[in-house]
Amino acid sequence: MPRPSLYSLLRPLLFRLDAEAAHGAGMRAAQLGQRVPGVVRTLFPAADARLAQSAWGLAFASPVGLAAGFDKNAALVPFWASLGLGFAEVGSVTARPSVGNPTPRAFRLPADRALVNRMGLNNEGAAAVAARLASTPRPPGFVLGVNVAKTHDPTLLGDAGIEDFRQSVRALAPQADYLALNVSCPNTAEGKTFETPDALDALLSAVVEELDREPRAGGSGSVGTPPLLVKLSPPATTDIDAGMVNELVQICLGHGVDGFIATNTASDRSGLTTEAGRLEAIGRGGLSGRPLADRALALTRHLYRTTDGAVPIIGVGGIDSAEAAYARVRAGATLLQVYTGLVYEGPGLVSRIHRGLVRLLDRDGLGTLADAVGAAAR
Q: Which residues bind ligand FMN (CB under 6 A)?
A: 67-69, 72, 91-92, 106, 115, 117, 119, 121, 147, 182, 185, 231, 264-265, 288-289, 292, 316-319, 338-341
3-class secondary-structure state, position 124: coil
In terms of C-beta density within 10 A (0-12 exposed, 13-18 middle, 19 or more buried), how is residue 220 classed?
Answer: middle
Q: Which is nearer to ligand FMN, 61 or 349 (CB)?
A: 349
Q: Which is nearer to ligand FMN, 106 or 353 (CB)?
A: 106
CB of 347 vs ligand FMN, minimal distance in Å:
14
CB of 320 vs ligand FMN, minimal distance in Å:
7
Q: Which is nearer to ligand FMN, 39 or 188 (CB)?
A: 188
Q: Please give the Cα distance from 237 to 216 (Å, whole number).
A: 40
Other beta carbons less than 10 A from residue 303's beta carbon: 28
Would the CA dihedral through 54, 60, 62, 63 be positive or negative? negative
CB of 122 vs ligand FMN, minimal distance in Å:
8
CB of 212 vs ligand FMN, minimal distance in Å:
24
Would the CA dihedral through 51, 52, 54, 55 be positive or negative? positive
Q: Which is nearer to ligand FMN, 104 or 139 (CB)?
A: 104
* Closest-approach residue to ligand FMN (CB): 69
Q: Which is nearer to ligand FMN, 259 or 341 (CB)?
A: 341
CB of 363 vs ligand FMN, minimal distance in Å:
24
CB of 332 vs ligand FMN, minimal distance in Å:
17
State phi, psi for 316 to the nearest 5 degrees.
-150, 145
3-class secondary-structure state, position 91: strand
Q: Which pairs with CB-CB distance under 8 Å and at least 24 residues apart come from 208-216? A: 208/255, 208/256, 210/166, 210/169, 210/170, 210/173, 211/169, 211/173, 211/179, 214/170, 216/173, 216/174
Q: Which is nearer to ligand FMN, 167 or 288 (CB)?
A: 288
